[in-house]
């Protein structure tokens, strides 16, 4: 069964070529895209405007892989977290965040994450594997279908489990499939890719025809501080990262978002705020302050609201666009940096300790 290719991870041109080589007209690829991506139909038998012969040939050649919903939890604020099982049994999480101001799907790009950011539960899992393009696209299809939103507009943020630029080719292919006009037609303007700054791939992103909005997980204002909080900084430093941001082609009326998780007595001082202003000088930037979502195993605390407001005020007074993110879904552990699958939670205390050390 597994050597049949996943049709849902093929770009339109690949599907056209495959149909042609099977002796069928290329235009059926568009119909297939509509069935799978626009209507969420994954059983060839249900694709009623395709001939019987074609349907049975497709079922012999291809399969359509869709992550299974293991659990669905809705927070008091409407945020809904989905625990999804992949074909090999690995678990990932995807989150629906309503009205922010648009509806947003927060999706994962890897099982676990290799980046080991000091304040992030997913980072404690380590990297288990990359997601395939089909699994990335499949999360969107599952959420849209489960929530009755296949015909609705929604935004996509790549801010779930994993570092998207560490799984570059699969992520970009998934975005091209999601953007195809014959499928869900998600415009790049409605997609935000969040990265800690895997620099070679950030440079590649700058040349992509499908260019999502960019969010940089900055979180620190000195090299030493960032080395500690975001360890990839030891390889691609803060200065190089910000230079790459200065070169990044930002469209008119758009800005690069800089995410800054606020940690009490670590990076929340007035001096940090003033340094942040200086660092972002010359970049079309907006800053998103994220007071930490405290969690067991994370050795940092959330600053007081007064501290967060003072920090925001310093940025705003110096002309930066700044927002303080109201954390969503905290009661169901769906908030930023809190995605960690049950399999990791179910580890023994000794195993968990091993991961934390």
Residues that bind ligand SF4 (CB under 6 A): 113, 115-117, 120, 122-123, 161-163, 196, 217, 337
> Are 15 and 61 a contacting pair, CB within 8 Å?
no
| CB of 32 or CB of 340, closer to ligand SF4 | 340
Q: Give the residue closest to ligand SF4 by C-beta.
A: 123
Place of tokens 């800054």: 260
Q: Which residue among 9, 93, 163, 259 is the active-site one?
A: 93
Q: Strand runs (DSSP E) across the chain, as ranges? A: 5-6, 62-63, 68-74, 80-85, 91-97, 104-106, 110-112, 127-130, 155-158, 191-195, 213-217, 256-262, 285-291, 321-324
| CB of 217 or CB of 341, closer to ligand SF4 | 217
Residue 151, phi-psi category: left (phi > 0), alpha (psi -120 to 50), beta (remainder): alpha
Place of tokens 């099977």: 22
CB of 153 to ligand SF4, least distance (A): 26
CB of 235 to ligand SF4, least distance (A): 13
| CB of 134 or CB of 337, closer to ligand SF4 | 337
Q: In angstroms, rounded to a whole number, what is the distance separating the alpha carbons of residues 173 and 9?
A: 8
CB of 125 to ligand SF4, least distance (A): 9
Query: Does a cis peptide bond (omega within 30 degrees of 0) precede residue 101?
Result: yes
CB of 226 to ligand SF4, least distance (A): 12
| CB of 285 or CB of 292, closer to ligand SF4 | 292
Q: In angstroms, rounded to a whole number, what is the distance separating the alpha carbons of residues 239 and 352?
A: 34
**Residue 156's beta-bridge partner residues?**
105, 191
CB of 97 to ligand SF4, least distance (A): 17
**336 given a catalytic annotation:** yes
Nearest Cα to Cα of residue 286 among 276, 294, 272, 296: 276
CB of 49 to ligand SF4, least distance (A): 42
Q: Which residue among 106, 113, 120, 336 is the active-site one?
A: 336
| CB of 188 or CB of 197, closer to ligand SF4 | 197
Residue 238, phi-psi category: left (phi > 0), alpha (psi -120 to 50), beta (remainder): alpha
| CB of 122 or CB of 213, closer to ligand SF4 | 122
**93 given a catalytic annotation:** yes
Q: In angstroms, rounded to a whole number, what is the distance separating the alpha carbons of residues 147 and 21?
A: 37
Q: In angstroms, rounded to a whole number, what is the distance separating the alpha carbons of residues 238 and 82?
A: 34
Active site residues: 93, 336
């Amino acid at each position: 069964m597994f050597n049949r290719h996943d049709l849902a991870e093929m770009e339109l041109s690949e599907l056209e070529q495959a149909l042609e080589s099977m002796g069928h007209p290329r235009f059926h690829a568009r119909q297939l895209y509509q069935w799978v991506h626009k209507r969420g139909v994954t059983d060839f038998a249900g694709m009623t405007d395709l001939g019987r012969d074609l349907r049975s040939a497709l079922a012999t050649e291809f399969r359509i892989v869709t992550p299974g919903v293991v659990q669905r939890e809705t927070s008091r604020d409407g945020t809904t977290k989905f625990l999804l099982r992949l074909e090999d049994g690995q678990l990932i999480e995807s989150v629906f965040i309503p009205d922010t101001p648009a509806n947003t799907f927060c999706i994962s790009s890897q099982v676990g994450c290799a980046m080991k950011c000091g304040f992030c539960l997913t980072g404690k899992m380590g990297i288990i594997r990359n997601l395939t393009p089909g699994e990335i696209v499949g999360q969107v299809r599952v959420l849209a279908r489960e929530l009755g939103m296949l015909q609705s507009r929604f935004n996509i943020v790549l801010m779930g489990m994993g570092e998207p630029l560490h799984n570059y080719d699969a992520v970009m292919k998934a975005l091209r499939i999601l953007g195809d006009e014959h499928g869900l037609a998600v415009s790049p303007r409605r997609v935000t890719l969040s990265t800690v700054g895997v620099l070679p791939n950030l440079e590649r992103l700058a040349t992509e025809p499908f260019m999502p909005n960019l969010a940089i997980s900055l979180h620190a204002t000195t090299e030493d501080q960032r080395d500690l909080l975001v360890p990839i900084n030891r390889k691609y430093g803060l200065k190089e990262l910000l230079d790459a941001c200065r070169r990044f082609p930002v469209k008119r009326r758009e800005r690069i978002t800089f995410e800054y998780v606020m940690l009490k007595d670590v990076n929340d001082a007035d001096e940090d705020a003033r340094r942040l202003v200086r660092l972002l000088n010359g970049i079309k930037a907006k800053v998103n302050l994220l007071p930490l979502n405290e969690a067991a195993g994370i050795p940092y605390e959330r600053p007081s609201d007064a501290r967060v407001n003072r920090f925001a005020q310093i940025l705003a007074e110096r002309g930066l666009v700044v927002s303080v993110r109201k954390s969503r879904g905290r009661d169901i552990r769906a908030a930023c940096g809190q995605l960690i699958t049950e399999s990791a939670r179910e580890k023994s205390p000794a195993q968990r300790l091993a991961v934390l050390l």
